[in-house]
Structure 1
Amino acid sequence: MNLLLIRLIIFAVLFLAGLKLYRMYREWKLDREEALNGESHQEGGQMVRCAWCQVHVPESEALREKGDWFCSSAHRDRYLQEQQPEE
């Protein structure tokens, strides 16, 4: 009877240790997948500076015209008007 109780305790300890190792592996795997997915699509992307007001905006929200970045169409229009040669 005493030997049966010892075996039961050993089995319970091994089972709990295995369960703990499985949970650690699963958490590691999920963290790794999140890291790989986070690299492939960033939320805002690279930041670019508006040529008119010098404010940084995410590249996905910025407008590009003639190699320059702008935070809005109004700033783009103002900048392009200034750049035109006066006749």
Structure 2
Amino acid sequence: MNLLIIRLIIFAALFYVGLKLYGLYRQRKLAHQQQAPSRHEGGNMVRCRWCDVHVPENEALRDVEQWFCCSAHRDRFLQEQEDNRR
């Protein structure tokens, strides 16, 4: 009978420790999610007309109604458009 009570106490203690560890894990995970900066705070995403890469609107270059990820791609696209007109 004493062995059964000791096993029950050990099981209850392990269960309690497990619950506490799980609670600490969830609390730490939530705190980490709140501290981590969101990558989506940059605004709308736009697609580069030349390479189809998505970049935040505030980092993209705009030429009339076209969006570009860098000035080199903008220049290439405009050069190609100019060559097609000739």
Give the TM interval when normalised to the shorter protein: 0.5 to 0.7
Question: Unaligned 5+ residue runs, structure 2?
Answer: 82-86
Letter of the structure 2 residue corresponding to residue 42 of structure 1 = R
Residue 63 of structure 1, aligned match among 60, 64, 67: 60
What fraction of aligned residue pairs are identical, expressed as a percent? 25
Query: Conserved in 2, the CA contact under 8 Å of 1:47 and 1:56?
Result: no
User: 4+ residue runs of structure 1 moved beyond 4 angstroms?
Assistant: 78-82
CA RMSD of aligned residues (A): 3.6
For residue 14 of structure 2, what is the aligned residue in structure 1? 16
2: CA distance, partners of 1:6 / 1:74:
76
Q: How many residues align?
A: 77
Q: TM-score, normalised by structure 1?
A: 0.53
Deviations 1:56-76 (A, max 9, x none): 33328x532457531221222
For 1:48, give the aligned amino acid: V
> SS of the residue aligned with 1:55?
coil
Q: Report the residue type matching 2:60 in the other structure.
A: L
Q: Which runs of 5+ in 1 are unaligned?
A: 83-87
Distance in 2 (CA, whole Å) between partners of 1:58 and 1:79 is 17
Name 2:71's counterpart in structure 1: 73
For the residue of structure 2 that corresponds to 1:48, the secondary structure is: strand
TM-score, with normalisation over the residues of structure 2?
0.53
2:11 alignment partner AA: V
